[in-house]
Structure formats: structure tokens, C-alpha cells
Structure 1
């Protein structure tokens, strides 16, 4: 019965608020993904050739590539969209033929950061890595290991044989505070029964809408670049430089 109520609640919530890359302003995660998805879509639409999606999940970003010769999804969790199933810490058994690698909202969940060396090895010379990572964002998985600042991720990539050609922070004080508050509310609501949650759904939707609107407004007033909740990086493969002594 509990599972039935949970599935029903999730179905109704998804119909109202959207799912995947199509969340609307009533969703509690809207502020976390609105600008991220818009920037990613703009970035990916001009990329073409052989594409590898590392940590692909359900391949939500594949439709945003307008042209591609091949699209290979790699993950450690099996599903129908995964082309190459790997174990963390092991080599990805593919050739260095890829023009573009995308690794979106994945690096914080990977314990062994040598995955970046693997991506480097899979790219052609001058191949691109398009990477996104969260910063001021709640712990959202049991396997959630780290956060990078803007300088931290740039320095890390430059020690792994990449030249950063573009970096963009995502969000400001409004969206960061808003998404954290709504995520906290969602965590609290998850502890109560789905019947009560269902009764509170209209209130939850109104609250999310108001906070999301306010979050976008206060973001427009924030030019500090210190309260961002995510980062998008575009970098090119060059060559490996000397490994740093520091362990990330």
C-alpha cells in the first residue's frame, strides 16, 4: 500500500511539475536545474562528431546534440540506455576516438577521480570535455563525496592534461538559498506519510512557485559570483602535465 501511494504521489507530482530535463517552476528542484539545463542545451547543440557520455544514466542530454556521428553512454549502474557498463576504478574499454565527452553532475559521486584521466585518454587530440559540477548544494546521495569551487575545478583539470577554455558559474544568492530551503522541506516531507504529503501538495506547489520566483529575482541582484550553486566548464585535451603532490 505504501509503495502504491508513493508511486501515485510521484506520478501526480511529475505530471504537474515535470520530470527529467523538463522541470517547471512548481518543482522544488527548479532553481537547481533551470540555468544549468539552459546553458548545457546551448553548449551541446553546437557539438558534433563522436560523443561519449560518462555517467550517462538515462541519457537525458542526448536530444540536445543536434548532430553526432555516434553517441556512447557509459555508467556503473545498468539500464537500457547504458552502452558500456564499467566498474568504478577500472578502465573504460574504448578507443581514443571521441570528439566530445560530457560528464554532467557526476564527478561529485565518483570516489576515484582518476576517471578524469580515463576521459582524457578517450578523447582525440584537441577533443573537448564538457563538465558540470554542483557547489552550494545539498548532500543528495549516499555516494556524494565532494564539492569543487570555480578555482578548484579549473586547477584540478589543468593538472590532468586539459586546457580550460570556458568556465561559467551557475546561480546566485537567491537560487542557492531557495533550492536549499526547498530541498530541506522535501527531506522533511519525505518522513511523513504520502497521504499527508498528498494533502499538503497544493501548499507545497504554491510555496515552491513563490520561492522559485523570489530566487530568480534575487539572483538578478547578485553580482558577487560567490554564492553560485553550480559550475559549467569546457576544456580541451592537451597533454598530461606533472602530477601534483596533493591528493584531491
Structure 2
């Protein structure tokens, strides 16, 4: 029994991250169930990188997957996260971060040139307080890079509280003193459908995790590859109303 547990742990935390490229997020391989989502996020970050400058704060960063693309643009790159959720969501993480809730940051007002807030708002019940805090620590004319899910599966449970429409997100930002500079749809019907299908396959088999990760892996990964290729094709039809995620570049106008 102990031997099987060690084997399952090896496949789950060593082999699968190598086979799917999840250890290189967002540069995951097409074998990863969320390849399309990571691809879109990387594309958005690279497009927005020329806005990044000075002292940067990456709020709720988790394992800070975008640091490698942005830190050269910054004089200082600060990572903050909640130790409680970080420990649960990233069991093998060795990222050094400032332990802080997104609603109560331990930084002086108007000290940051750039704030990065990717896939965080849906995990905070008082999400408007996060926007207020991001604005507080930003200098005037400072830049906020923000992404949120729209049509996306429940994840990081039980810390998954909200979804945001395009119009609700724009209104939230504008009412809190931000000017929307650019608004991006992170994929369309293909990314939305395939991420849900792949997520369903992975989630439904999680009750038999060891069996899935050891025995079924040679079947599941090729299915992900096939699905992801289909998703790339479907995304050529730009159905904006069916986007899984939104990415916004905005400026602190006050």
C-alpha cells in the first residue's frame, strides 16, 4: 500500500508536470488540459509587457508564472499571496512571497508603478476591496494588469466565488477610478468549450486519482492533445460572447 502511495505521488507531482509542461507555466505543452487557457494568458501578458515599469506588485501571484516575462521591465518585482490558500493550492511551491491578503496589503500608498492581478478577483469574496487596495498602492498614472474568468469551470474550491461579465468588469474598474486602456478576450468558443471538456475529464476521474494518474494517463493525454487542436480551430471564429477569460490593461486616473 505504501509503495502504491509513493508511486501515485511520483506520477502526480513529478511525472505529470513534466509530461504536460505544467512545471513551465504558462509554457505548458499541448498535452495539458488547460493548454489553451495558458496560451491565451501568455499572449496577453506579452502584449501588455511594454506597459510594465518601475516597482511592480504581483498580487495573489501563486507561483508567479509571469515573473519571468516581466521582471526585466521592473526595478523591483514583489510577489504577494495569502499563505493559507497558497499552501492548499500549491503544495510543492518554493516561491518566496509577502504573506498578505489581497484586501489588506502591507505596502504604503502610491508606491507601485505597476500592479498585476491575474485570476484573483474570483477567489476573494470582497473583490471590490481588492480593486480599492490595488488603486491605493498604485501611483497616479500607474498601470493595472487584470484578468478574470467569465465562462469557466469551478476551480480552487472552496475559494471560488464569482464570475465577471465584460460590462460588469469595465464598470467596476471605471467606478473605482481606473481608465480602461485595452480590453482583450482570452480565447473564444474553442478555448471555452475545450477547457470545460478537459476539466470535466480530469475532475470526474479525480476520485480514482492513482488509477487515473498511473493507468489512464496514456489515454487521457492524447485526448487532451486532440481536444486542444480542435479548440485552436474553433477559436478562429471570434465569438466574443463566449470568451472564457478577460484581460484588461488600465491606468489609475486619479
> CA 1:165 to 1:86, structure 2 compared with 1: closer, same or farther past 3 Å?
same
Asked if structure 1 preserves the Cα contact closer than 8 Å seen for 2:26 and 2:41, the reply is: no
Cα separation, 1, equivalents of 2:232 and 2:74: 34
Q: Where does structure 1 lack aligned partners over 5 or more consecutive residues?
A: 240-248
Asked if structure 1 preserves the Cα contact closer than 8 Å seen for 2:187 and 2:235, the reply is: yes
The reply to whether residue 13 of structure 1 matches residue 16 of structure 2 is yes
The reply to whether residue 75 of structure 1 matches residue 81 of structure 2 is yes
Cα separation, 1, equivalents of 2:238 and 2:63: 35
Cα separation, 2, equivalents of 1:123 and 1:69: 15
Q: TM-score, normalised by structure 1?
A: 0.89
Asked if structure 1 preserves the Cα contact closer than 8 Å seen for 2:147 and 2:248, the reply is: yes
Number of aligned residues: 238
Greater fraction helix: 2
Cα separation, 1, equivalents of 2:179 and 2:132: 14
Residue of structure 2 equivalent to 1:226:
241
Asked if structure 2 preserves the Cα contact closer than 8 Å seen for 1:75 and 1:82, the reply is: no
Aligned equivalent of 2:195, options 172, 175, 179: 179
Runs of 4+ in 1 over 4 A off after TM superposition: none
Residue of structure 1 equivalent to 2:110:
96
Aligned equivalent of 2:34, options 17, 29, 48: 29
> CA 1:191 to 1:127, structure 2 compared with 1: closer, same or farther past 3 Å?
same
Cα separation, 1, equivalents of 2:112 and 2:104: 19
Residue of structure 1 equivalent to 2:159:
143
Asked if structure 2 preserves the Cα contact closer than 8 Å seen for 1:5 and 1:195, the reply is: no
> CA 1:196 to 1:48, structure 2 compared with 1: closer, same or farther past 3 Å?
closer
Measured on the aligned residues, the alpha-carbon RMSD in Å equals: 1.8
